[in-house]
């Protein structure tokens, strides 16, 4: 067979790898990372994705998983066991909240939620068994921006680990490990892959010890990603920097348009000067503010329906961060599992719409919004 040097990594669509003999098997265990045995343990495609994300976040290493949720699970289980206590930001993706409060509590991990006002002074929440704090760079869905360096100082003072979900920002805007975080997680499904055709997650670790534990959890719990999805995500990752610039520029133009529209009652976007953490977001995001925003029309489900139905082509799709613009409805999707009291406290009312700005021409997006808002 001739020497083959593909420019792009081939897809290793195999569940298992063969060994030449017993000596090769022993070498696999003596020199980890030099060969492969079973795709649940590792595969060239998922390893490539992990290495490329780690380069961007600049950690000790990364582990890819089957989804963003499994990445959160792997990060928490790598640090915690039954009897331990976890802190979680009150304003966070509903799925993260549900995983902690309804599932991990069943296996003996205690959870407390920290309101935004208390994120930088954790003394009242930290217990002797507290192991970590989970928070987001920008909260889902109302885009509150966390001062990661400030909260990292507090978690270090308290002797607990800081786990940051960097999905909304991506490492193009913010590198949480540089600011003091211990572990960073992403739903690769979103911006890192970027084309709405992959479900995947990743955990990036600052310390080799944490990396080994996350790797172990991924392997033993079977949280691994398939080779094809690893290949697709690595392919999407190559355009991340370009996409994030366009997402950010478009979102700022859309936010400014919405801000002055009479049918829109409130806009949440860190790029607006009126946003309470605008200057923090500007510094922490290298002058970019990301592609996500939320806005509120009248708190009436029928008004929201009229708006959605009047959009010429923007889909109502309960996810985010694809190259095509889409909208979502937090009250009925991402934060549906929260109690009405929790939803109200977070400000997630009937008129709140989450807007994932794509990379189309901004004039096209604004024209669609103009048409739909006229129906409200």
Domain boundaries, the chain: 22-237, 240-374
3 state DSSP class of 87: strand
- The residues annotated as belonging to the active site are 40, 93, 165, 190
Q: Name which of 322, 337, 369, 64 is nearest 217 in CA terms.
A: 64
| Residue 340: pLDDT over 80 | no
- Output 6 or 147, whichever has higher pLDDT: 147
Structurally, at CATH architecture level, domain 22-237 sits in 3-Layer(aba) Sandwich (3.40)
Residue 217 CA to residue 219 CA, distance in Å, equals 5
Residue 349 CA to residue 182 CA, distance in Å, equals 34
CATH of 240-374, one of 3.40.50.200, 3.40.50.620, 3.90.1150.10, 3.30.70.100: 3.90.1150.10
Q: What is the pLDDT of residues 21-40, one digit of tens each?
A: 999 889 888 887 788 999 99
Q: What is the pLDDT of residues 312-325, one digit of tens each?
A: 999 999 889 999 99
Q: Do domains 22-237 and 240-374 have the same CATH topology?
A: no
What is the pLDDT averaged over residues 133-145?
96
What is the pLDDT averaged over residues 156-178?
98
Q: Name which of 274, 245, 276 is nearest 170 in CA terms.
A: 245
Model confidence at 214, in pLDDT bands (50, 70, 90)? Answer: very high
Tell me the average pLDDT of the chain: 95
Q: Name which of 268, 250, 256 is nearest 144 in CA terms.
A: 268
pTM for the predicted model, two decimal places: 0.95
Model confidence at 337, in pLDDT bands (50, 70, 90)? Answer: low
Low-confidence winner among 25-39, 112-126, 164-178, 333-347 (lowest mean pLDDT):
333-347
């Amino acid at each position: 067979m001739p020497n083959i040097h593909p420019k792009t990594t081939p897809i290793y669509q195999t569940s298992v790898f063969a060994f030449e003999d017993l000596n090769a098997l022993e070498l696999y265990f003596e020199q980890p990372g030099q060969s492969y045995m079973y795709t649940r343990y590792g595969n060239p495609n998922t390893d490539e994705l992990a290495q490329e994300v780690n380069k961007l976040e600049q950690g000790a290493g990364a582990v890819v998983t089957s989804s963003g949720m499994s990445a959160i699970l792997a990060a928490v289980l790598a640090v915690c066991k039954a009897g331990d206590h976890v802190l979680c930001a009150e304003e966070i993706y509903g799925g993260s909240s549900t995983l902690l409060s309804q599932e991990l509590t069943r296996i003996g991990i205690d959870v407390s939620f920290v309101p935004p006002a208390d994120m930088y002074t954790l003394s009242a929440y930290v217990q002797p068994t507290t192991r970590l704090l989970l928070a987001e760079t920008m909260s889902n869905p109302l885009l509150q921006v966390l001062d990661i360096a400030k909260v990292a100082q507090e978690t270090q003072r308290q002797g607990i680990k800081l786990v940051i979900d960097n999905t909304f920002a991506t490492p193009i805007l913010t590198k949480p490990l540089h600011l003091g975080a211990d572990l960073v997680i992403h739903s690769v499904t979103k911006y890192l892959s970027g084309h709405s055709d992959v479900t995947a997650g990743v955990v990036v670790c600052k310390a080799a010890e944490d990396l080994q534990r996350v790797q172990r959890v991924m392997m033993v719990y079977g949280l691994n990603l398939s080779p094809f999805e690893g290949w697709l995500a690595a392919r999407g990752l190559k355009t991340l920097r370009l996409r994030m610039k366009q997402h950010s520029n478009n979102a700022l133009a859309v936010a400014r348009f919405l801000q002055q529209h009479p049918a829109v009652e409130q806009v949440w976007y860190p790029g607006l000067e009126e946003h309470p953490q605008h200057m923090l977001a500007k510094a922490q995001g290298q002058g970019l503010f990301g592609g996500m925003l939320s806005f509120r029309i009248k708190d009436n489900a029928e008004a929201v329906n009229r708006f959605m139905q009047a959009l010429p082509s923007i889909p109502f799709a309960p996810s985010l961060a694809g190259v095509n613009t889409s909208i979502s409805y937090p009250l009925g999707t991402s934060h549906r599992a929260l109690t009405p009291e929790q939803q109200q406290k977070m400000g997630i009312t009937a008129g709140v719409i989450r807007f994932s700005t794509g990379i189309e021409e901004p004039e096209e997006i604004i024209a669609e919004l103009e048409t739909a808002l006229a129906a409200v």
